Structure 1
Amino acid sequence: MLNLVHLASFVRLHETGSFTLAAEQLGVGQSTVTHHIQRLEQSLGRQLIDRTTHRVKLTTEGEALLSYARGMLDLNGKVMSMFGESRLRGRLRLGVSEDVVANRLTGILEDFIRLYPLVDLELTVALSASLYQMQDVGDLDLVLAKRHIGETHGRLLYREPLVWLARDPDLLQVEPGHPVPLIAFPTPSITRRVAQEVLDRAGLPWRIVCTCGSLAGLTAAARAGMGVLVQPRSMAPDGLREVAGDRLPVLEDVEFVLVARRGADTALTEALSSLIVQRIRPHGAP
């Protein structure tokens, strides 16, 4: 009989691509995850992890097991939620900033619906400032978004720098008579405001060449060479390169936070918050 704990380690190892990250997210030691994988391989009599590469990669047998492992964990979560003592149910309204959705929300939602299948999740994607406004009037229970350095609202998840991104930074003209071409979210946008303020302080002219409420749209414009885009460093889209620090002024850091609405169902918000705290961090962070 397959051990569900071993399967959980196997699935998390595949998702993170790292024994260290898998162990951290599961709340166990790295040696424990290694032991789980070894026991799983012994139970099946098959090698599941290709140990000839530096990065974790599944073998053909491991790929075949993956969907079954997820299905077994999903079924177990539904049964435990249905018959367990702490059966969470109800509606949870989650607001998430656009850039977080594009990068790391899928795994969190997979875990949440597996663990709490009786909870109806209502997801809203918008700019951080807009999400806070919606929460203020009672339309959102939990918000995962950015905040400016110096602000104190919410539970801090992590902090990282904003960077300038362009298709070909070497062709970017930063000189009098050539305003910096900005690709930005519409107002109110934290990254847009930071970019404009830092350019104003440096005395550099700028103009908005493309505005879009979707990160996919902004990325397409930047990949087309229309201008520069500001994003957290770990969320830099593929196909864009960071502009060197001597070309444009250094941008400030940004913080990612969780904000629960006062009066929201504490059990529901804490259940989702705990998953987010475990899994949200810059890509590549230890």
Structure 2
Amino acid sequence: MAGITNLQTDLLRTFVSVVELGGHSKAGAMLGRSQPAISLQLGRLEELVGAPLLIKKGRAIQPTADGEVLLAYAREMVRINDEAMSYFRRRVMTGVLRIGLPSDYAVAFLQNALTDFTRIHPEVNLEVHCDLSREILRQLSADELDIIVAMMPAPRMPYLSRSWVEHPIWVAADSFVIDPDRPIPLVAHPEGCDYRARMIQSLEAAGRRWRFVYTGPGISGLQNAVLNGLGVSALTRPTLLKGMRVLDQSDGMVPLEPLRVGLFYKHPRQTEAGIKLISELVANLDSINARTQPAAAG
């Protein structure tokens, strides 16, 4: 069709590599190109889009505002390209993929996707690490993990592929009754958990007293503590179990502030197995968001 400009995949791959690897030299070493060739490709890409894409701050190279917008498209376009080529190569996928997840997502959101991937690709070994989002993000940055899901402390972050809004809910056992004359007993993950911070923020804004009665890193422990009537907690709807009820303003509970969650990975370091798993996680997340919160998908 006349007037349509095509963005070449090799130019987009170079752009993503420079941003995610932190410079022209590292990107050139990864892609097998000289530093001048990398600069020429970036210049060509800037000509095509009609905007500067990178800015140097000290020794660091960062995307401009336009570069941030293109980066989101570029990651997706390069991923789809690599997924398509992987299909037509039809090679057996092998290797190890290190996945980082908050425990809520490991149990309720991505467990089926990871299990299905392992069943279909038995030669790929998955290593799943559950931790607080801030630690998972640090491990990805340090190349200790390959693909992660994590809560986002800022709207724009390195290595982000897909983001969506999560609405935590107050929950308690069906038989649990809040005593208005006593501090609200809280069940939570350790300090540093975003849901824990949201609970404290909500209660203090409402002038409610509170105390922690259970703290543990695993989602199963939190669920059992709630079901056993120890206290109330903040969970996602997919982690709500039979025997729990949602608390709202009729129970004297102020709604919790939403959270933004992201899927992150460094594309230049991904294997064919990694690209395939990322595509399946994206499809899984889109399906979940369509069922639970269609208006909030990022």
From 231, 235, 239, the equivalent of 2:235 is 231
Find the partner of 1:171 among 172, 177, 183: 177
Distance 1:105 1:160 in 2: 15
The 3-state SS of whatever aligns with 2:122 is: coil
Instruction: State the TM-score, normalizing by the size of structure 1.
Output: 0.63
Q: 2:129 aligns with which of 119, 124, 130?
A: 124
- Measure how far apart 1:266 and its partner are: 5.2
In the alignment of these two chains, the number of paired residues is 203
1:186 aligns with 2:193: no
Aligned structure 1 segments of 4 or more residues deviating by more than 6 angstroms: none
Q: Which runs of 5+ in 1 are unaligned?
A: 1-80
Name the structure 2 match of 1:218.
222
How far apart, in 1, do the equivalents of 2:118 and 2:224 lie?
A: 31
Contact 2:199 2:234 in 1 (8 A): yes
User: Could you say if the C-alpha distance between residues 274 and 266 of structure 1 is closer, same or farther in structure 2, counting changes exceeding 3 Å?
Assistant: same
- Whether 1:134 aligns to 2:125 is no
1:198 alignment partner AA: S
Note the C-alpha offset of 1:283: 8.6
- SS at structure 2 position matched to 1:279: helix
Residue aligning to 1:209: 213
- Structure 2 vs 1, CA of residues 125 and 137 (structure 1 numbering), >3 Å: closer, same or farther? same
**1:156 match:** 162
Q: How far 1:282 sits from its partner (Å)? A: 4.7
Runs of 5+ unmatched residues, structure 2 = 1-85
Give the drift of 1:262. 6.2
Q: Secondary structure at the match of 1:129?
A: helix
Q: After alignment, is 154-163 or 272-281 more displaced? A: 154-163
How far does the alpha carbon of each residue in 1:138-191 deviate from its partner, in whole angstroms, 9 at most, with x for none?
A: 21111023335x53332334323111101147611235xx21211000021010
Output the amino acid matched with 1:240: M
Q: Distance in 2 between matches of 1:197 and 1:167?
A: 22
When residues 181 and 283 of structure 1 are mapped into structure 2, their CA distance, relative to the original with a 3 A threshold, is farther
In the alignment, is the contact (CA less than 8 A) between 1:157 and 1:256 conserved in 2? Answer: yes
Structure 2: distance between partners of 1:207 and 1:170: 16
Letter in 1 for 2:196: R
Q: Secondary structure at the match of 2:259?
A: strand
2:246 corresponds, among 242, 245, 263, to 242
Change in 2 beyond 3 A, CA 1:84/1:263:
closer
**What TM-score results when the alignment is normalised by the length of structure 2?**
0.61
| Contact 1:157/1:255 (<8 A) preserved | yes
Letter in 2 for 1:174: P
Q: 1:245 to 1:222 in 2, by over 3 A?
A: same
Aligned to 2:23: none
Q: What RMSD, in angstroms, separates the aligned Cα atoms of the two structures? A: 2.7
Aligned-residue offset at 1:105: 2.7
1:273 aligns with 2:262: no
Taking a change above 3 Å as real, the CA distance of residues 84 and 270 of structure 1, as seen in their structure-2 partners, is closer
CA contact (8 A) 2:98 2:147 kept: yes
